[in-house]
Every structure is written in C-alpha cells, then in structure tokens.
Amino acid sequence: MSDDETGSGAPATDACDSALVDAATLPGVPDEFQRLWTPHRMAYIQAGPEVLRKECPFCEAPRKSDEDGLIVFRGRTAYALLNLFPYNSGHLLVCPYRHIATYDEATDEEVAEIGLLTQQGMRVLRQVSRCDGFNIGMNQGHVAGAGVDEHLHQHIVPRWSSDANFFPIIAKTKALPQLLGDVRRAVWDAWHA
C-alpha cells in the first residue's frame, strides 16, 4: 500500500502493524500534554463527589480490614493510611478516629498522636522509598483545598530530587511507579518490623 492509498499521507505499515494508527493523524487539536493512561481512576471519576459525602472515607476506613482500608498503622486516637489518590507513591494521611473538621478541635492527645504518627510515617517512608524530603500539611476547609473537608487529615507526601523533573513540569504527566497495594504492603511491613 502506498502513502496515497492510506489517505493519511503517513507511510504504509507492515501487515502486522495494520491495526495501529499513528496518533498524529487522528482528529483533534494537538497540545503539549502527553497521556499516561490511568484507568484505575475511573472508579473515582464515576463515583463523583457525592459518594464521598454520603459516607466519610476517614470514618469508613478503620471499619475495614487494614488492606481494604489502605491502613498502615492503627494508634489509640489516630491512624495512618495511604491516600487512595496519591500525589506521589507512598503519599500517607494521618487521621484522628474522631470525626472532627479542623486541627483546633483535636484534643491534646490527638494532636500528640498525629504528630507522633507523622514522624513515624516519615521514618518509614525514608526507609522504604529512600525519598529525599517531604511535603507535610493540612488543608482545612473546602476553600483551602481539602478534598474531604469534614474530617481532619494530615498529608505526608514523599519527595525525590528527580520527581519534579520535566515529566510533571513540561510534559504535564505524573507517573506513579508502584501499584497502591504494593506500596501499602511495603509501608505496612516496614512500620511493623
């Protein structure tokens, strides 16, 4: 088949590649974004924000098994779990069991345990992932960027000197190199060693 027979101006392909289509020939406006397909996020997209509002995910997680709840450690007043929608591999959350919205509502005991679990989480993540640093913080209230603003939670996001390379900045693509279940198992094992 010649270029003229394909109608695309693209060179003809071998018979084994006949089902492949050069994406550059597809309709649409080219842009600077690369696509990294993440079909596992479809459950989050299809569920929409209403599902998160029916049941508080941070009240529900401790009622599940550690594996199903993505929990890596259970304390007396607070617990640590993996973020279901992580910014980086190993992104942990530390939550009080009690359903409170803001840090100033936490008891002294909850504040102390949230701090202790944050420190322990950092140590474990350093050991497991050899990260170079962390972003730690709490978004309190919807206006402040909290996805689940009715239940206090602290983020522990591991960072590497190379995680802000061209990929997310120029290529506008974020790669998560490990499956969530594998990360949870590694963090849980290290935390309980």
Domain with CATH 3.30.428.10 in the chain: 39-191
At residue 118, does pLDDT exceed 80? yes
Q: What is the pTM of this model?
A: 0.71
Strand order in the sheet with 92-96: 71-74, 78-82, 92-96, 154-159, 133-137
Residues annotated as part of the active site: 153
pLDDT tens digit string along 13-38? 455 556 666 666 666 666 665 555 55
Q: What CATH class is the domain 39-191?
A: alpha beta
pLDDT tens digit string along 49-70? 554 457 899 999 999 999 999 9
pLDDT tens digit string along 87-104? 888 999 999 999 999 999
